[in-house]
Amino acid sequence: MLPISDFIKGKNSEGKKVLSVFLTSGFPDPKSFTELALKILDAGADMLEIGFPFSDPLADGPVIQHSSNTALQKGINLEKTFGYVKQIREKTEKPLILMGYANPVMSYGIKKFAEDCKSSGVDGLIIPDVPLEEYESFFTPDFNGLEKILLISPTTNDERIRLTDDKSSGFVYCVSVSGTTGNEKAEKDIEFIEHSRSILKKNKMLVGFGISSEEDVRKYSPFCDGVIVGSAVIKSLMEDDDTTEAVKRTLNLVKRLKAAL
Amino acid sequence: MYNPIKYNLPDKDGKFGRYGGKFVPETLITPLQELERTYLGLKNNPRFLSELNKLNREYSGRPTPLTFAENLTKYFGKAKIYLKREDLCHTGAHKINNALGQILLALRLGKKRIIAETGAGQHGVATATVCAKFGLKCVVYMGEVDIERQKPNVFRMKLLGAEVVPVKSGSRTLKDAGNEAIRDWVTNVKDTHYIIGSVVGPHPYPMMVRDFQSVIGTETKEQILILEKKLPDFIIACVGGGSNAIGIFYPFIDDDVQLIGVEAAGLGLDTDKHSATLTLGREGIFQGMMSYLLQSKEGQISEVHSISAGLDYPGVGPEHSYLKDISKAKYFSVTDEEALNGTKLLSRLEGIIPALETAHAVAGIEKIIPETNKEQVIIINISGRGDKDLDTIRKNAGL
């Protein structure tokens, strides 16, 4: 079974696109994170990407750097993240993805990491600093049974898009702009998005990086199979000292984005 | 002994054994491939090489001398000590060797804008210098802590027309400047070339920077063969990222010469205030490469310390990790205090004020000299001069 790709195909066959929401593990409040994740799913997220924190997140813009740092300061690590996944998994069938950098995974132990992913209920992985070139050396056979989601970006040429499609599973993550996460201002290249999707044979394609509003969702969703929202959600969660208010506003945002799909 | 297997690394994947590689976001892969292709096409191109040689000679002042350190040699009464004088390069350190090479590449790649990270400011100054000379826009990322302790270099960069961007994230030192430079590059990759200042980062940087810096070792070899009619017994250099060390080591890599790298032990190896990556680190993935790293049990990169901003880095070039593992080079560390003593020693005995980075290599001499004899020869790579550090030295050296 391929939980993520089958799930997206299922949604698409009903004429729906998917909304994937990124949350930083344990952010903003470690105690209520599981609850927050479940509420986000209830509000309309079709799947969750849970980011485990790293001290030097070089693909991320200021918003996710902030959430990652805060999580680290609050003692969030992979062990705690697997704990959250387990609790969330008990309450949902929707795809759960872990996203994060290679070094904490190596430190945790590749084999143990892969085992804990499977036993806690993780369906897939996004490791942005493990590109195609390092795929074989990093994703040992221990990872069999987990979907490994690879990324393409506006600098990726056609041949490479094909190779990525071949190796990737779950979906292909289309980075809509050259830049770090949360780059709302950069002009996203619709032509690139449309063209990339036309090349993919095996995988569905989700678009992310800098998708923040209903307008973005309306604009890009016709050209892909779903969208990923990260920084906009994290930003909404951190804009308030009052967590209850922040959560309320964020759930509202997720609802609005979902309605715009 | 004749060794038929010549050292020939990195391999086609940019690996030195298990180290190195390209652990970067997808957006950077195509530019890295383009850079590698362009570089490999040029590295043996006679026109490119003659242009670079001309700049090295007429702009930078190469070859730099190999100076016999007569007083230092007498002081220890053991092996003969020579100094490879990279402090006499234009801009005052070896960093210009790499900056000149990379700016020529950037011009051929058609890039209009150059970015760089800097710790001590020497690489930032070298980059700002070549950008001024070739008329390219220059942005240098520098940690706030380093801006404070290397003020003269900040001013030099500004005077040379560069924009210096203070980095406020993380430990506000070299590693964070590197992160910000990578983020800039991911965002502006179309028109921007990133001049990495050391033998770190994703392939092809560790190879390319090594090649540009190996002019140091190539000259040294010629010079010592003329002066001593034999190869040296020891070569010693400081290691942060490790570019001056690799630069002088590499042309001797198939020779029977003991290569020694000296890391920064900061306040001591039994504290958490040091940057002794090869001595105390373990394997990990950071800033595009697999290498030894100083990191927590959970794989978070450590905040490190050295009195010298240029050695204050939690990673190290992947080739050094490999040379350590195969025991081709030896690495140990000296403390801030020992480095300050090294500064005083070289200043008073030879009239040469070394950079605080370089002072680690000078201090390293004391640890190996007892085992040497008068027939032997040691070369210290004097990677840079100390003007930029006068403030720090005055505050810490009790002068």
B46 within 8 A of B203, measured Cβ to Cβ? no
pLDDT value of position A230: 95
> Over 80: is that where the pLDDT of B48 sits?
yes
Q: Which whole-number Å values give the CA distances from B284 to A106, A150, B32, B269, B355, in the listed order?
A: 7, 21, 21, 20, 29
> Domain tally for chain A?
1
Question: Taken in order B190, B194, B195, B196, is the CA torsion positive or negative?
Answer: negative
pLDDT value of position A189: 81
> Over 80: is that where the pLDDT of B154 sits?
yes
Interchain proximity B299–A155, CB inside 8 Å: no
**What are the tens digits of pLDDT across the range B244-286?**
999 999 999 999 999 999 999 999 999 999 999 999 999 999 9
Interchain proximity B186–A180, CB inside 8 Å: yes
Q: Is residue A50 part of a domain?
A: yes
- The domain that holds A91 is classified in CATH as 3.20.20.70
Q: Is B31 on the interface with A (CB under 8 A)?
A: yes
Q: Is residue A160 part of a domain?
A: yes
Q: Is residue A261 part of a domain?
A: no
CA distance A126 to B112: 33
pLDDT value of position A242: 79
**Section A195-214 average pLDDT:** 95
A interface toward B at CB cutoff 8 Å?
Answer: 54-56, 58-59, 61, 65, 72, 77-78, 101-108, 128-134, 137, 150-157, 160, 164, 175, 178-180, 183, 186
A85 within 8 A of A100, measured Cβ to Cβ? no
Confidence of residue B2 (pLDDT cuts 50, 70, 90): low
A76 within 8 A of B300, measured Cβ to Cβ? no
> Does the active-site annotation cover B95?
yes
pLDDT value of position A158: 97
Q: Is residue A90 part of a domain?
A: yes
Residues of B within 8 A of A160 (CB-CB) are 29-30
pLDDT value of position B215: 98
> Over 80: is that where the pLDDT of B397 sits?
no
Question: Taken in order B305, B307, B309, B310, is the CA torsion positive or negative?
Answer: negative
pLDDT value of position B3: 54
- Does the reported pTM lie above 0.90? yes
Q: Is residue A247 part of a domain?
A: yes
Residues of B within 8 A of A178 (CB-CB) are 27, 186-190
Q: Is residue A87 part of a domain?
A: yes
Q: Is B179 on the interface with A (CB under 8 A)?
A: yes
Active site residues of A: 49, 60
Residues of B within 8 A of A64 (CB-CB) are none
B181 within 8 A of B214, measured Cβ to Cβ? no
CA distance A91 to A86: 9
Confidence of residue A1 (pLDDT cuts 50, 70, 90): low
Nearest to B242 by CA among B271, B201, B273: B201
> Over 80: is that where the pLDDT of A254 sits?
yes
CA distance B53 to B104: 12
Confidence of residue B1 (pLDDT cuts 50, 70, 90): very low
Q: Is residue A201 part of a domain?
A: yes
Residue numbers of the domain that contains A59:
4-10+18-256
